[in-house]
Amino acid sequence: MFRTEDINHRLHDDPFKPFRIHLSDGDAIDVRFPGMVIVGRSTAILPKRFGTDEEGRPFAETWRTIALVHIVQLSDLNERRNGKRRRK
């Protein structure tokens, strides 16, 4: 089971490295910027789809609140969804 501290460590890595959160329902959410995730004691709020405003700035159009117990894996974004690294 992942804890608040586990997510916060990834969000506050210096330098930040984008990562993917894999969920128990098979879904995966990419975290490209540390400010994308709001972490609570037992849940996290993650944007699912982004839009842009009139000046081209991103905003969350939809988001998902997940229970931390449903996080099964964190992986770097340079890995494919099946866990294998991409070729360079």
Q: Domain of 62: which CATH number?
A: 2.30.30
Q: Structurally, how many domains does the chain consist of?
A: 1
- The confidence band for 87, taking pLDDT boundaries of 50, 70 and 90, is low
Residue whose entry in the numeric block shows the structure tokens 């990562």: 19
Question: What range defines the domain where residue 45 resides?
Answer: 4-76
Tell me if the pTM is above 0.85.
no
pLDDT tens readout for residues 49-61: 889 999 998 888 9
CA 6 to chain centre: 12
**Please, are residues 12 and 35 in contact by the beta-carbon 8 Å criterion?**
no
Has residue 46 been placed in a domain? yes
pLDDT tens readout for residues 5-32: 999 999 999 999 999 999 999 999 999 8
> What share of the chain has pLDDT > 90, as a percent?
69
**Please, are residues 66 and 43 in contact by the beta-carbon 8 Å criterion?**
yes
**Please, are residues 20 and 75 in contact by the beta-carbon 8 Å criterion?**
yes
Has residue 45 been placed in a domain? yes
Has residue 31 been placed in a domain? yes
